[in-house]
Every structure is written in C-alpha cells, then in structure tokens.
Structure 1
Amino acid sequence: MATEDKNRATAAAILPLVGGAANVSSIAHCMTRLRLGLHDRSLVDDEALKAVPAVMGVVEDDTYQIVLGPGTVARVTPEFEQLVEEGRAAVPDPGEAAPSVSAEELAAQGAAMKAARKAKNATPFKLFLRRIANIFVPLIPALIGCGIIAGLNGLLVNLGWLTSVTPALAAMASGFMALIAVFVGYNTAKEFGGTPILGGAVAAIIVFPGVANIEAFGQKLSPGQGGVLGALGAAVLAVYVEKWCRRWVPEALDVLVTPTLTVLVSGLVTIFGLMYVAGEISTAIGTFADWLLSNGGAGAGFVLGGLFLPLVMLGLHQALIPIHTTLIEQQGYTVLLPILAMAGAGQVGAAAAVYFRLPRNESIRRTIKSALPAGLLGVGEPLIYGVSLPLGRPFITACVGGAFGGGFIGLFNQLGDKVGSTAIGPSGWALFPLLDGNHGLGTTAAIYAGGLLVGYFAGFLATYFFGFSKDLLTEFNVSQEPAESTVAATGGPTTPDTPTKEPAGV
C-alpha cells in the first residue's frame, strides 16, 4: 500500500506541473518515460518538474517526456491516468468554458505554438525515424519473449534434455518470426493513415507458402523473401492505393471496390517487384554487416559502441530496429546489438567513477545508486539524464567506455567468433538469455561478458581521470541535501549559479 501511495503521490506532484488534467491530451509510456501530449506547452513548469524526487529528467520531442526510470514509470502511469480522469470530471474542459479571449485569438496562439514546435522537432528526417520507431517498437515485447524461448530451446537441444518439449518450444519461438511481416504491414498501414488490416493482408502475401510457385525476374520467389522491408514497402503502397480509391470510388461502391483494388494492385506490385527488390536489399544488409565485422571488426565496433549513446539520447536508436530485425530473419541473430549494448557498459563505468569522485555529494551518489541497477540491465536513460549528461564530460567519457567495449566484441567478430542476439530490446546483463553465435553459447557468453567488463573499466578510468575539470570537481564535490540537489532527482544541476542543462537537439 505504501508503494501505491508513493506512486500516486508522484503522479499527483507531476499533474499540476504539466498544466493540470485539462492540458493533457494523451498519455503513454515506454520503458523509462511518461509520454504526454499537451494542449499548451507553455503551462509546463520544467524546473519544478525536475525537482520532483522521482523525476530524473525531461525531454521534449513530439510528446513531452518525463524520465521516471524502469518499473517506476509503469506504476506511476496508471495513477496519473486516473488523476487525469478525475480532474476532467471535476473541472470543465477549458475549451467549453467562457473564454477570456476570442476563439480567433486562441486559434492563432495554438497555431503559433504548433509552428514553433514543428520548426524544432518536425524535420523530415526525424519524422521519418519517428514513424519507423512507431511501426517496430510495439513488436519488441514479442521479439523479446520469443527470443528468450528460442535461446532456452537451443540450450535444451544442445544438452539433449526434454526432447519431448523442445519441438513445442521451437514452435512458440518461431511462430511470431514466421509471421512478423504481417504485423509490420498492419502497423505500417496504421502509422501512415490507412486501414491496418489491409496493410496486414498485403504483407501476408510475402510469407504465404504459395509464392514459391510464382516466377519473377527470371527466378522463383521464396516465402518470406524481402522480409520486414518488403512488408513495410507493400503496406505503404497499400495505403496510397487505398487513399486514391477513397477519393475516386463512389461511396455506394466503396465498401466493395476499395479493399479489392487495394489488395489487388498493391499485391501484384509486391509479388512482381517489391519482394525481389526488398530481398536484394535485405541480402545486401546482411552481407555488409558480415563484411564490416569480418574485415574491420575492432574499428567498426569501436565506432559503433562509441556513437550509440548519443543516438539513445536523441531517440534515434530505434531507427536501427528494421536492420536488427532483418539480420535476425536472415541469420537467426543480429551481430550489431551486442556491440551497441557496450554503450550501456561505458555509461555504468562512468557513473561508478562519478560516485567515487564526488564522495561528499550525497544527492548525486543517491541518484547513481538508484539508477545503477537499471543501467546494469541495459536501461541507460536514468543515468544519462540523471548523471552523466548534466555533468557534461562524464557523458563523453561514457561514450569512450562504450567504444572500447564495442571494439573488444568487434575484434572477436573479426577473428571469426560471432556474437549475436536472437531478439532486440534488452542489453546489459539482460541480454545474456538472448545471446547466440557460431561457436556455442559458452564462447559467445564469455566474449560478451568480456566486452561488458572492458566497457565498465574503460568508462570508469576515462571518467575518473578525465571526466572532471578542477572547477567542476570543486563545484559538485560538496555536501548537498536533497532540496539542494545538483543532479540527483532533478535530472540536472540546479544550483543558483548553474542552470539546468538540457540535451541539445532532443
């Protein structure tokens, strides 16, 4: 009960600081963030929000995102939703009350705010990446669950245990991956404004066994050819065909003609064009990934591991999901994820160094102790927004740790020991159940564990010796109570002479 009261208290503290229930248009959450759609961004009190004990930072993107950390966000969100519902029931919607300004003035104000936000966040590139993420992120829970079952099944098969059960486990692990194109098509059509089930219907053509009897570009097609990339392209095409039909087909015939033409036209293009093209692209992705790590594994791993943390900070890492998924479809695992996971190891090492370098700053040390378990399991955002990014240099030295860890795993890939993951989502120690490779689970796990240790030590040493200037060390290495927290729960320094730093471009 005490935990429920704590979560409700956190939700109650956040609600008035985002403008109250009437200002909230949508509520969602991911692994670490409470994501809010807001009517009026100017009503948000950023500094007061960062001072709420459970809040580790805030990020403004297409939604207003409050970083609460894993576990906490899943428990606070339902309480927040309930408070919003109660607030809306008790207080009339401001749009229905007698306004103090004219409707034209309110519309002009809203248009100006919308334009300002678009100028900041709605670049074509970011909108494209956001759509890609919206298509694939909902699939991650199934990818994780099926991936872990696949790993368990592989272990049992190698040991020769429970032979009567392993076929059932194989079916559970493989069923989703066999039909993942259908789910991608469904989500793609939904994201691009079409009828989701039509997108799924067209994408289902790709995995239908009967396509093996069809010849295109002088060769027989194979079920699954083109994979998720083909499904994505087919569903996008279906959306455009459907929208064209909605404009030109008479309403009386719409229910019959529109879905028929949508499936027929986009289906024919998929069979006699997209499947072949997407198949070639998918093959090229797999070939390039193998070539990159076979010929420049250490260098490639160093670069990828070092750059991934900034991608996480900017939310751009989700654009890699189609590449991971394509590699899993082709090879059974993605060799990129274990390398990218080293960024989290560098972050953990950097946080540990900050803990030892600031022995008198109880606020920062308390934040590190609370966020470190999540960091060890691969959820790095609490440490990013609560510790390293606001301090500046430790964020850079954390990237250095990730680079060395990535270089370590990349080197073994170059030497012929592939380290991959059968699913996407987890990293850190949570990735062990999903590991796979070409030289057995023991070797794969040992290499990955070695990479984590290298990332920890490199991030720690780089931060301990190079993460603080003399002025920064003097400023932060002082005894501070929670109310005067510099980083701690605020997500950024809030001393009078040090304004809170926001991550650039987020």
Structure 2
Amino acid sequence: MSKKYEGFAQQIVDRVGGKANISDVYHCQTRLRFKLVDESKADQKGLEDLNGVTKVLINAGVFQVVIGTHVAEVFEEIEKFVDIKSNKTQQESEKKGIVTTVIDFVAGTFQPIIPALSGAGMVKAVLALLVVFKIITTDSQTYYLLNLFADGVFFFLPMLLAFTEAQKLKCNPILAAGVAAMMMHPNWTALVTAGEPVHFFGVIPFTLATYTSSVIPIILIVFVQAYVEKFLNRWIPKSVNLVFVPMCTFLIMGTLAFSVLGPIGSVLGGYLATFFEFLSTNASWAPAVLIGGFLPIMVMFGLHNGVAPLGVMQMSNLGYDSIFGPGCVCSNMAQATAGLVVALRTRDKNTRQTAASGSITAYMGITEPILYGVNLPKKYPLISAMIGGGLGGLYAGLTQTHRFATGSSGLPAVLLYIGDNSMTCFINIIIAIAISIIATAIITFVLSLRFEKKDSDTAEEIEIIKADEEIIMAPVAGKVLNLSEADDEVFASKALGDGVIIEPSDGVAVAPFDGTIVTLFPTKHAIGLVSPNGAEVLIHIGINTVELNGQYFESFVKQGEQVKAGQKLVTFEPEKIKDAGYATQVMVVVTNTTSYQKITALHEGDIKNGEQLLKLKA
C-alpha cells in the first residue's frame, strides 16, 4: 500500500475535527464522505486551502471533501487515522430536515450497489454489440450465458437493496437479505405461476406477486424490519437472542412480506411504472431537459442522489431508463466541453491545468473536479454547460432515447444505448451529445470573449508586475533545510508548492514581505500571505501542530490585515511543542509555485528573520 497520501490524509482528518469527531467515513468516485459528530469543529476553509482538495460541501448531513479520481488511495490512508467503531456510538449533534433525511436514506441505500449495476450494464452493452455486429446470435449458448452474467444483479436486486438498506438503518443486513431471499425462492415463484390462492395457516392470505427485480417492496419490508429487530433485541434476553431474534425476525417479516408489505410495494411499484409510461408517452422531453440542464445544481445540493435511483426503478419496471441516464450524459459532456474551452481560452496557468485535466475526467463521466474547480468559480462556463446540456437533453427526450442498462455517464456510456436489436437509441444519444458539446462550446467561447478578457488583462498586468524577480524574506530565524527533508510527506513531495524548511532557533514569526494576511488558522500554527506582486506564501509552524488547538501559540494579526515586512505575526514556544511530541519545523512554501518559472533558495545553514530566503522568477 502506497504512503503517497499519508500526510495529506492526516491533514484532512485534522481539519474535519480529528478522529474523535468522525462517526463514519466512506468514499464515492471523487469524494470523501464524512459523518461528523459536530460539524462546527470542522475547518471548511482550511480543507479547501489544502492542495489536493477541490471543494468542500455539506449535503444531506454528509461532510463531503472532493478529491478527484484518486480518492480511493487517499481513503486507504484516511482509514489509518480514524476509529469508526469507537465513534459510531456517538450521536450526531444536528437534526436533519425531512428532505435531507429522505435524500440521505435513498443515497445510502442505492449508492453502494452502483458499481454492481454499472458492471452489469457494461456487460449488457457488450452483449448488444456482439448481437448487432452478428458475432453471436440470440439463440446461442454464449448469448444465454452473457445475458445471465448481466441479469444476475437485476434479478437479485431486492437482496442487494435489502443488504445496503439494512446497513443504512443499522439493522442486521444478513437477516434482511435472508427475508429478500424468501421472496425470490423458486417455490414461491411456482405458487405464483400456479395462480391458486395461498393462505398461511389457512387464515392469512398471501397475495400472489413476483418480487424478482423489484425495488419498492423490499425497501418497505426492510424499513419495517429495522423496527422489529430493535424491539426483539430489547425484549429477548441477551443469552438467547442469537437464536431467537433471527427466528422471530424471519417468522414476523416473512408473514408481513407476503401478506401486507410486499403487496403494498407491488401496488406502489405498479403506479410508479404507470407514471414512467405516462412520461414516456406524453412528456418524454421533460426528464431529459430537467436533468440535462439542472444536474450541476442538483449535484451541488446533493439532490441528484434522490433522483438517480428513479432510473434504477424505471429499469426494474420497464427494462430501460429514460428518466436519468440521457439527461445525465448530456449534462456531463456539456460540463466537460465548457471546461475544455476555458482551458483553451484562459491565460492563467493554474486554471488552464485544472480545466484541462478536469475536462478529461468529465468526459469519462466524473464532473466534480471541473464543476468545483473551474465552472462554478467562473460561473459563465456553468451557465453555458446548463444551456448546452438542456438542449441535448431536449433532443434525447423528444426522440424518446433511453438506455438499456445502468452505468457511468461518460463517453463509454453510449454503449448502454444499444438494445432491442436496434441502434436507434445509440444514434440518437450520439446526436444529443453532439448537440450538447457544440452548443456548449459556442456559448462558452462567446462568453469567454467578455469574461476571459478581464482575466487576460489582469494576467498581463500581473506578468508585467512580476517581470522583475521577487524576494521572499525569512519569517523565522534558524537553520535552512531542503523541503524534501520535511517530516510531512505532503510538504516533502512539494504537493503544496516549492519552498524550504527552517528549523527555528526562537519562537517569533514575522512577515516575509509587505502584503496581506489571507489565511490565519484558528490554531495559529499556519499563516497564508499574498504579496502585492501575487506571491502566495504559506508559513506552517510545526508538523501536526493543529492538534494543539492553539496551545503554545499567540497571534498578533488577523485575517485580512495588511502587514509590513518584518512585522510580528505569531509567537510560539518551540521547546514546549517538542515536549508535547511534535516536530517544530517551519515550512515556508510558495503555494502558487506553478505561476513561476523558477524558485531558488538564497540561503543555506543559519539565517536570521528578515534575511533573503527565496527568489521567485516569473
């Protein structure tokens, strides 16, 4: 296991309030998702200032840290610093609203099964290609087996949902899956096929309904099961509950599933299917337009987690998804295109780099980096993408385009639109995507003529200002070391920027130039400054000293204050910090390193504060 992100992970844990403040943590494709005991303890600004963190969001009761496609590697290191078992007994301090609670429940139930649905969906796409190009026939054993590979997930969907919903509701997921297994047992299917009335103990009628590939019934059943289990665990003695709680759960829930909850769920599912068919026939354009145009807004507020499962439900009922998939892929392609145009138009090196890499990721279906890194901050690319995505969605809706399997919503997703032995939906989604890309590119380019002109003028002015070399003075006295010798991997790898270390000989930190305090952490261990010429410098005192919560530190400035070179910023007590078990290295880092051609250390060995430390060449 790589330790590349170990220091980065530690900083994230520190800034969300430490491991004691984390009741749960998991990740999706791009985000770390924390459930915190007390959100007020999290330093949102400090997290967003970390190089490697694109954005911090609080949606549906979840504290989300947007990292990017390498989030799984960061999560592996996060796990080392947290103790979920000890924290799960703590209660979250804030109450959620009804909408937030519902979205949180739906997301927690459906998100864990997305990889399985995506994998099965791509197998379906491969199968459709093999049939369309006449490589195999629909009556061959290969077709039969590949179809089995793909349909297994959808056939046993109730079991998967039962497991994830039980985890969400904190009841026994194995028992929940066991109840779902009853409902898909071949003997029950045989009774339904026979069509003769079924009565439990000759009294309780069991409604004849098929539950394979269904969604609503099992959601209702496990919801009730969570309360039944809690009741049984409360009243059955601990000495025998290992045997009697599962037995009673199966007896109670089996009876309720076949007699009441399952039939209710089937009726609701039928109404839902009727609603989907109504949309497909009378307003096929509406879902694709709304998702295509407003998906970025939904993502920002976490609403997409409540809408995306509608596509899964529609597929389980009708065999295709026209609710979420078409609009989503059009929106994602529009987001990617808007970012690409910005990359071609902007003169800011950092923005260009972020936009170029983010647009590539977005074309593969993951839009958070480009959304939060470029399109949302600049605003005009976001507006362009919403218009372009809506236009593409409109075409997809009017042509009743739908996908035949669930999967990602990037360019590879076009294969999911091959089905029913036809290429019609595939051709239509290609056209819809082309409309989104072309419309977005034109609108973004036109708007960039106005908005990027300002940025370009500013950039040119900055380049003129930076024409001469800029000197950064030493903020503390001590011994200058190479940044690679930092005891923190993030600093040593220069992930936060180039610079040096100073092993301090005293406890006074001063301003390295005339400038502005842009960041002053509440714990006083880190100060961010910007010079009139645009140099952004971070003075970070000690390693992991954020854990001291300001102890042994005293600040003499405030965020936003204008300071003069040599002005006292912070005092600290190196010996007491060492005695507390923390390194006292002071990292002096230029966080906008990419804005400079070369950064040179001007001093080796001992240095006094105020002496020349770094030279920045634009």
Is the TM value for this pair above 0.5?
yes
Between the aligned partners of 1:477 and 1:18, the Cα distance in structure 2 is: 38
Residues of 2 paired with 1:496 and 1:357: CA distance? 26
Measured in 1, the distance between the counterparts of 2:235 and 2:19 equals 42
The one of 92, 106, 109 aligned to 1:132? 106
1:371 Cα deviation from its structure 2 partner: 0.6
Partner of 2:149: 172
Contact 2:334 2:437 in 1 (8 A): yes
Counterpart of 2:33, as a letter, is R
Residue identity opposite 2:330 in structure 1: M
Instruction: Please tell me whether residue 196 in structure 1 is matched to residue 178 in structure 2.
Output: no
Q: Distance in 1 between matches of 2:371 and 2:291?
A: 18
Offset at residue 126 of structure 1 (A) = 0.7
Q: Which has the higher strand share?
A: 2
Question: Contact (CA 8 Å) 1:419, 1:437: kept in 2 or not?
Answer: no
Give the CA deviation at 1:180. Answer: 1.4
Matches within 5 A, 1:301-316: 301-316=288-303
Aligned pairs (5 A) from 1:62-461: 62-70=61-69, 72-82=70-80, 84=81, 115=93, 117-118=94-95, 122-161=96-135, 163-212=140-189, 213=191, 215=197, 221-224=208-211, 227-251=214-238, 254-336=241-323, 337-358=325-346, 360-413=347-400, 418-424=401-407, 426-438=408-420, 440=422, 442-461=423-442
Distance 1:225 1:398, change over 3 A: same
Distance 1:307 1:458 in 2: 16
Alpha-carbon distance change, 468 to 184 in structure 1, aligned in 2, over 3 angstroms: farther
Matches of 2:456 and 2:220, distance apart in 1: 52
1:368-407 CA distance string (max 9 Å, x none): 0111111001111111111111223432332111111110
| Residues 301-359 of structure 1: CA deviation (Å, up to 9, x unaligned) | 3223212221112222122343222222233321221223211122123223333443x
CA contact under 8 A between 1:350 and 1:397: conserved in structure 2? yes
Kept in 2: contact 1:293–1:300 (CA 8 A) = no
What is the alpha-carbon distance in structure 1 between the residues aligned to residue 132 and residue 62 of structure 2? Answer: 46
Point out where structure 1 has 5 or more consecutive residues left out of the alignment: 96-109, 485-493, 500-506
Deviations 1:112-156 (A, max 9, x none): xx64x54xxx21211121111111111111111112112222333
**Are the counterparts in 2 of residues 225 and 278 from structure 1 also a CA contact under 8 Å?**
no
Identify the residue that residue 519 of structure 2 maps to in structure 1: none
Question: Which has more helix, going by share of residues?
Answer: 1
For residues 302 and 134 of structure 2, the distance between their equivalents in structure 1, rounded to whole angstroms, comes to 42
Q: What is the TM-score normalised by the length of structure 1?
A: 0.78
Matched residue, 1:50: 48
* Matches of 1:463 and 1:439, distance apart in 2: 38
Alpha-carbon deviation of 1:477?
Answer: 5.6
- 5+ residue gaps, structure 2, are 200-204, 464-495, 498-514, 516-528, 533-558, 560-618
Inter-partner Cα distance in structure 2 for 1:284 and 1:40: 41
Q: Which has the larger radius of gyration?
A: 2
For 1:165, the aligned partner's letter is: T
Q: Secondary structure at the match of 1:420?
A: coil
Alpha carbons of 1:189 and 1:39: their partners in 2 closer, same or farther (altered >3 Å)?
Answer: closer
- Answer whether contact 1:302 1:403 (CA < 8 A) is retained: yes
| Cα deviation, residue 25, structure 1 | 5.3
1:405–1:66 distance in 2 versus 1, CA, 3 Å:
same
Q: Output the aligned Cα RMSD.
A: 3.5
Deviation at 1:75, TM superposition (A): 2.1
1:265-321 CA deviation, whole Å, 9 max, x = no partner?
222222123333222322332332232233223344322321222111222212234
CA contact (8 A) 2:338 2:441 kept: yes
Deviation digits for residues 41-70 of structure 1 (CA, Å, limit 9, x no counterpart): 555443343333322111134343221111
Q: 1:260 to 1:467 in 2, by over 3 A?
A: farther
| Structure 1: distance between partners of 2:11 and 2:282 | 54
**Does the C-alpha gap of structure 1 residues 16 and 167 become closer, same or farther in structure 2, counting only changes over 3 Å?**
same
Superposition deviation, residue 245 in structure 1 = 2.3
Offset at 1:230?
0.5
Question: What do the CA deviations read for 1:433-491 (whole angstroms, capped 9, x no partner)?
Answer: 32244461x33222111111111122223333347866x8525763379989xxxxxxx
CA distance in 2, matches of 1:220, 1:22: 49
CA distance in 2, matches of 1:167, 1:408: 34
C-alpha displacement of 1:8: 4.3
User: CA separation in 2, counterparts of 1:241 and 1:194?
Assistant: 9
Alpha-carbon distance change, 216 to 236 in structure 1, aligned in 2, over 3 angstroms: farther
Provide the rounded CA distance (Å) in 2 between the counterparts of 1:126 and 1:38: 15
